Amino acid sequence: MSPFINNPPYPNNYGSEFLVIDRGEGCYLFDKKGNKYLDFGSGIAVNALGYGREDLAKTTYDQMLKLVHISNLYATEPAVELAKKLVSTGDFAAVHFGNSGTEANEAAFKYARAYSQRVKGEGNYKILSFSNAFHGRTFGTMSATPKEKYKAPFYPLVPGFETTTFNNVDELKKVLNGSFAAVIIEPLQGEGGLESVTKEFCETLQNICVAENILIISDEVQTGLGRTGELYGYQTFGLKPDIITLSKPLAGGLPLSATLIPSKVNDVIHVGEHGTTFGGGPVTTAVALKVLDIINNRDFLNNVKALSKYFKNGLQQIVNSCDNAIGVKGEGLLLGLQLKSEDLVPQIMTKCRENGLLVLRTGTDTLRFAPPLNITTQDIQVGLDILKKVL
């Protein structure tokens, strides 16, 4: 029996051949044949606490028996408690819950446009994003995602979105002015090649945004909740956002997102201007409370930093000894290995899988590693040894 399935009735945007995963345990996944894989992908940076967690399963089970869904016409204790905990992590006043990263960003755009047009005047609605950014696949977030491959057949997109070059201070000074409602930025570009925002770029961005009352949205969908070794990626890179968006790891693998807004924005929003049926249900928020308690802990975050150091050293040694690997990228446990050519990436990924290691891709020529944040140095070394052998 092959552990692969071909041509399941999925739309063609998903390709045709899939490894069928059956279960997970810690940092390992198992296919139907019992083959074991070390997971350096975490379901695309989602499974921050690993697989097979009895604590999260029990919370889910208990809450499902109590109440699964009630809509935003009512409040539930887990949702209110999570909202309070999230706003206390920074200068935030309120949280809009949704179900996915793209929804979190769409909500941010809506809040930013409403704020800007009510405070600065109609017409000040533009949103700036940066080259190689990825913010999602719905129409608003696609409009803020410059790569044509994500949007070519879907035009026309949403008007009022512009893009400038990431980390180019001179261009930023020319483009950004008071007609913009917001800037959306990933402090470390997860899909676009693992470039980090520079200190100089952060400072310039900050200065213009403060002077022109432009909101900074930090898209923390991939970098948030411990991934960079701080609770949020913006803390690692010294950015000071007004709004942040979270999703992937928030509810331990269940779908949940959060858009955190400051009081000046919340103060101009009126009842009924945004909403969702499922977002912030009692099950996902109950699990997220556990996840947040585990991750928002200095020892846990310091351990991510220590693991990152170990991982980066190992990757650097591979660069020193393998001609096909040319550079180490990323921060925390969102790391990359840049290869000599982009044609090597699919080959190396396949070979890694055949040797029991699952990895991701970022940009064009880089392997991406986003293991569970509670991985051990021993397991990191297992993965490094496979990578070295394959390369």
> Which residues of this protein are in contact with ligand PLP, per CB under 6 A?
44, 100-102, 105, 134-136, 186, 190-191, 219, 221-222, 247
In terms of CB distance, is 124 or 218 closer to ligand PLP? 218
Which one, 103 or 379, has the nearer CB to ligand PLP?
103
CA distances to 202, 226, 287 from 292, rounded to whole Å, are 27, 10, 9
CB nearer to ligand PLP: pick between 59 and 223: 223
d(CA 381, CA 315): 10
Q: How far is the CB of 45 from ligand PLP (least distance, A)?
A: 7
Residue 300 near residue 188, CB atoms below 8 Å:
no
Q: Taking the complex as a whole, how short is the minimal distance between the CB of residue 257 and ligand PLP, in angstroms? A: 7
Pick from 188, 226, 190: which is nearest to 302 by CA?
A: 226
CA dist., res. 2 & res. 7, Å (int): 14
Q: Between residues 4 and 10, which has the closer beta carbon with respect to ligand PLP? A: 10
Q: Which is nearer to ligand PLP, 124 or 143 (CB)?
A: 143
Q: Give the full edge-to-edge strand order of the sheet including 28-31.
A: 21-25, 28-31, 36-39, 357-358
CB–CB of 88/291 below 8 Å? Answer: no
List 25's β-bridge partners, or say none. 28
| Smallest separation (angstroms) from ligand PLP to the CB of 162 | 18
Task: Give least dist CB 338 to ligand PLP, A.
Answer: 19
Q: Which is nearer to ligand PLP, 38 or 185 (CB)?
A: 185
Residue nearest to ligand PLP (CB): 101
Q: How far is CA 182 from CA 116, 195, 209, in A?
A: 8, 21, 8
The minimum distance between CB 44 and ligand PLP, in angstroms, equals: 6
In whole angstroms, the minimum distance from the beta carbon of 66 to ligand PLP comes to 27
